Structures are given as C-alpha cells and as structure tokens.
Amino acid sequence: MTPAIETISLTRRYGRMVALDNLSLTVAQGSIYGFIGPNGAGKTTTLRLLAGLLEPTSGEVRLMGQRLRPGGAQRLVGYMPDFFGVYDDLRVWEYLDFFARCYGLAGPQRRRAVDELLALVDLSHKRNAYVQTLSRGMQQRLCLAHALVHDPPVLLLDEPASGLDPRARVELRELLRTLRDMGKTVLLSSHILSELAEVCTEIGIIESGKMVVSGPVEAVRRQLQGGSRLRVRVLRGLEAAEAALRQLVAEPAAGLPRLGSVRHDPSDERALLLEFDEADEDGQAALLAHLVGLGVAVSEFRVQAENLEELFLRLTTVE
C-alpha cells in the first residue's frame, strides 16, 4: 500500500541554521504516528513542510503517493497548529460553515458536513454558542473539526493535547481512535509522551533536526531499552531465589537467560529486579519454572519496560 506520508531527505534551513536535516520518514495509511522531540528539534517545521506552508530547502514530500508541490497540500491535509486562532464573534456552526465555504462546499453538502463534524467532535449542543465562550478543550475540538471540514485523508496535529485537562485528553484520545477507524492517517506531535504510548501505533524521535529512531511503539521501546528488566516478587524463599539468580549471573546455565545483574527493588523488600540481554519468552518461562522447582513461592513475575519518558530523556541527554 502506498504510504500516506513520505519524506525523502527533507531539509529546511534558515540562513545558517539547519532546522531539519535530511529527514526520511514513512507513515503508513491508517496510522497514528507520534512525533516526539524537545523544543526546537524540528517538529513544527516538519508539520509545516508537510502541510505545504513552508518550502523545503532540499528533498521532497509525498502525500498519498503524490509529490507535494507549492499549494498542493490543501485538499490532502488537515492541519491544526499548536497556536490556533478562532473568530470570537462567530457562532460555532458559523465558524465551520465559513471554512466549508472556503473549500467550495455547496449549500446542502456544507450544512450536512457542519452537522456531521459537530456530532463527531461532540459539539452539537454548542452549535449556537459563540466561539469565545467555549472552554479550551472545546476550542481544540472545534479546530480539529475545522481541519476535517474538507474530509482530508491526512491530519497533522501540532501539540493537540497542549493545555487540556485530564478529561479533555481522554476525550481527544478517543476521538483520535475514531478518526483512525474512519481511515484517516494522523501525525501528531506531543510532549505528553504517556498519551502517545496509549494512542499511537508508531512513534518517531527527532533531535536537532535529525530522526533518531522511528517505528512501532514496542519496537522502538525494545530498540532503545536494549536489554530487558524482569521483576520477581517472592512470598517465600527470597534468600533461595536470590542465591539461585546470583549463581546464574556468575555461571549461566543452558536453557536459562543470561542474567546481567540481580538487585533488590528499593520500593519492595520482597521483590528482585533482574537485568538480562534478550527478551526471550521461552527463557523467561524456563527461569520461572527453575525458581518454582527450587521451592520458591513466586507471586509476581513480569517484564518491566521503561516508559517513553524515561527512554526519551535518556536518548536526548546522551552527549
């Protein structure tokens, strides 16, 4: 299937400053792609290039298999910037109606589109309210409806959860899943990494204008984390378990994972944290059976993955 978004050696310079450096990115159709990076990393520049609001210094952008040319993104892309403007003296339905007219939607089609979008973003009950009376979360949803007014296949959302309270973030997350089910491809940037982990199918981490890593969320987590961390909580036989595990660190046994270290969990005196090189499920199962065979009463045995915040901070602070 043709990618929804593809960039080839995309570069953007501002004088001597390189905002984006040979970015090559592929986003499959129907994905929710999370774009992660510190301030100034090049996220907003990338989204503006994809939206056709900036021209690249070099390289190219392809949307739905079509090479992007100046002014050519309007019908393919819905773009919601981080800082958006609304027309305060318009009612909610008038705001959407105005932009629907800009895209040339005829009367009956325009009215139907406005009604459907208000229902989609759960603002039907606010259709006659003035835009300035809406909460921050409602204004975010209205601007998302604006980005959808011409039914584009690709959505570009720059920090869509910025400034939202927890309930509004949950509502946004559910709305993004609904858009994915509708066949939309969504690329969003965010600093709220836990939100990305829950809703995104793929993520990319950008640093100083360069893509550091990109792929499915769990694949990126495994790639950055390297080895694996296993938490074992013991009801009875803690000393025997610790001795057996430390023996495996010193002398690896056939069929069991090679352990790098064993230490106590500082948050739980009955738990041990194991570090090992490969997340091998067969090896983990064999290790659990080994402990049980020694008479150890294991109450918890699970892999602990670093969250995205930990991985991001470790990756972007390495010199």
The number of distinct structural domains making up the chain is 2
DSSP labels for 171-199? HHHHHHHHHHHTT-EEEEE-S-HHHHHHH
> Is position 186 within any domain?
yes
Residues 109 and 172 in one domain: yes
Q: Give residue 312's pLDDT.
A: 66
| Tens of pLDDT, residues 196-244 | 677 888 988 888 899 988 888 877 776 666 567 789 999 999 999 999 9
Residues 152 and 289 in one domain: no
Q: What separation in angstroms does the CA of 226 have from each of 169, 257, 312, 315?
A: 31, 15, 14, 12
Is 77 in contact with 156 (CB distance < 8 Å)?
Answer: yes
pLDDT band at 75 (very low <50, low <70, confident <90, very high): confident
| Tens of pLDDT, residues 146-156 | 999 999 999 99
Residues 193 and 91 in one domain: yes
Residues 248 and 204 in one domain: no
Range in 63-72, 106-115, 223-232 with the lowest mean pLDDT:
223-232
Residues 249 and 284 in one domain: yes
Is 221 in contact with 207 (CB distance < 8 Å)?
Answer: no
Residues 177 and 252 in one domain: no
Range in 72-76, 93-97, 157-161 with the lowest mean pLDDT:
72-76
Residue 318 has pLDDT above 60, yes or no: no
Q: Give residue 277's pLDDT.
A: 67
pLDDT band at 123 (very low <50, low <70, confident <90, very high): very high
Helices (H), the chain: 43-50, 92-102, 107-120, 136-147, 166-181, 193-199, 217-225, 238-250, 281-293, 308-316
Q: Which domain holds residue 194?
A: 5-223
Write the CATH number for 280.
Answer: 3.30.70.100
pLDDT band at 5 (very low <50, low <70, confident <90, very high): very high
Residue 73 has pLDDT above 70, yes or no: no
> Is position 319 within any domain?
no
Q: Which two tokens stand for residue 256?
A: 């069991």
Strand partners, 189: 35, 158
Q: Give residue 117's pLDDT.
A: 96
| Tens of pLDDT, residues 16-36 | 999 999 999 999 999 999 988
Residue 71 has pLDDT above 70, yes or no: no
Write the CATH number for 149.
Answer: 3.40.50.300
Single out the residue of 62, 60, 61, 315 nearest to residue 213, CA to CA.
315
Residues 6+ away with beta carbon under 8 Å from 274: 229, 230, 231, 232, 245, 259, 261, 262
> Is position 122 within any domain?
yes
Q: Give residue 245's pLDDT.
A: 93
Task: Scan for tokens 């720059």, then name that residue.
Answer: 158
Residue 309 has pLDDT above 80, yes or no: no
> Is position 311 within any domain?
no
Residues 167 and 23 in one domain: yes
Cα 137–chain centre separation: 19
Q: Give residue 319's pLDDT.
A: 41
Distance separating alpha carbons of residues 212 and 224, to the nearest angstrom: 10
